[in-house]
Amino acid sequence: MTPFFFSGVMRMPKVLFCNSFEVGHSKEAFCLVFKFQGPNGNTIEETYVAVSPSGAKTLIEQLAAEMKDYEKEHGQVDPWKTEGKPNSSGQSQNVNPLVS
């Protein structure tokens, strides 16, 4: 992790290990909520990220390229199970690996 300077003060970037997330969108932006949840499902910490539709498309492309490289090196990765059905209505979709 590379430190950075903000207003003359050295800072370390905050890292959140994510074991659950939500994705949603409006006409103007995509919203990603990255969460760390405890064993009983309670959210311990979360971070919100909003990105433009073109930024979201770029993120998808970059993640796909990184996943392809990762799977070449480490083998196939199975996706997490999701709560409910895939969502195309613009509503938030919770993706939680703690769901069996």
Question: Which pLDDT belongs to residue 93?
Answer: 53
Residue 37 and residue 84: Cα distance in Å, rounded? Answer: 18
Question: Which pLDDT belongs to residue 83?
Answer: 64
Question: Which pLDDT belongs to residue 94?
Answer: 58
Question: Which pLDDT belongs to residue 5?
Answer: 73
CB 33 within 8 A of CB 45: no
pLDDT along the chain (100 residues), means of 10: 72 83 94 92 92 97 96 93 53 48
| Residue ranges of domains in the chain | 18-76
Question: Which pLDDT belongs to residue 90?
Answer: 45
Question: Which pLDDT belongs to residue 58?
Answer: 97
pTM of the model as a whole: 0.67
